[in-house]
Copies of this chain bind each other. A is one copy, B any other.
Amino acid sequence: MNDDGPVAACPIGPVVDIVFSRWTTPILLTLHNDGRLRFVELHRRIGGVTAKVLTDRLRRLERDGLVTRTYFAEVPPRAEYEITELGRSLSPVFASLAAWQSEHLGEVEAARGRFEA
């Protein structure tokens, strides 16, 4: 949550809150690249996150309309997650981040090296 304060200082606050909460980018990218996945499979591919936290993030993404959840009350039960059109529309954002990173991450690392001294 970006605090209030002069909203003018951060007009992109809302989208940052929606997209860059922890674990949301790997979730969205995985669903974007790998298509519809059930819970365990998504969990396995992301790694490092607990079921509780993954569930929380997925609920939030579902609430925001970026992901859909389809539940099958079978035995054993099955839940499938899929990215929505709205979620897919974030593609250009992720592309611009990837582009910046591949072009400039080296400079950041160099700056960090200099900063040690």
Contact = CB atoms under 8 A, between A and B. Distances in A.
25 contacts: A2-B22, A2-B26, A5-B47, A5-B48, A5-B49, A6-B47, A9-B29, A9-B30, A10-B25, A10-B26, A11-B29, A12-B98, A15-B98, A15-B101, A16-B20, A20-B20, A63-B111, A63-B115, A64-B108, A86-B107, A86-B111, A90-B100, A92-B96, A92-B100, A93-B100
B46 A5 contact: yes
Contacts of A48: 3-5
A22 to B, nearest CB: 7
B47 A9 contact: yes
B86 A104 contact: yes
Interface of A: 2-6, 9-16, 18-20, 22-23, 25-26, 29-30, 45-49, 62-66, 86, 89-90, 92-101, 103-105, 107-108, 110-112, 114-115
A108 B93 contact: no
